[in-house]
Amino acid sequence: QVQLVESGGGSVQAAGSLRLSCAASEYIVRSFCMGWFRQAPGKEREFLSAITTAGYISYATSVKGRFTISRDNAKNTLYLQMNSLKPEDTAMYYCAKGAAPDCNHGYNYWGQGTQVTVSS
């Protein structure tokens, strides 16, 4: 069974940094597209970033230049380094497993989420 467990969230002041981790069950990270999403109360789920098994990366405009997605296949872990955080980054952050090695076929598994709160 696929398991995705996020960690690394917390409270940080504006301009601070956090590194989120997504621990996945064996072989998942190396075999599928992996992505990061977030959702704030009352708002739609927002795509942040994704990485294909070939290493191609995409970012949402709102986080480009501030967030960096990466993976460690040996550790079965996906990461999201978040720098220059802003209060509007406050949300629940989720990692997700794509349905295919590329990121063009949607996502079919989601973690439980980790809360990120950025204060001014």
pLDDT at 105 over 90: yes
Placement of tokens 């981790």 in the chain: 21
Q: How many CB atoms sit inside 10 A of residue 51's CB?
A: 22
- Of residues 2, 29, 33, 31, the one with CA closest to residue 111: 2
For the stretch 29-64, pLDDT in tens is: 999 999 999 999 999 999 999 999 999 999 999 999
Find the distance separating the first CA and the last CA of the chain, reported in whole Å: 40
Residue 12 has pLDDT above 90, yes or no: yes
Query: Mind listing the pLDDT tens digit for each residue in 57-81?
Result: 999 999 999 999 999 999 999 999 9
How much is the average pLDDT of 88-100? 98
State the Cα–Cα distance between residues 47 and 49, nearest whole angstrom. Answer: 6
Q: Comparing C-alpha atoms, which of 19, 24, 2, 116 is closest to residue 72?
A: 24
Q: Name the β-bridge partners of 26.
A: none
pLDDT value, residue 1? 86
Mean pLDDT of the chain: 97
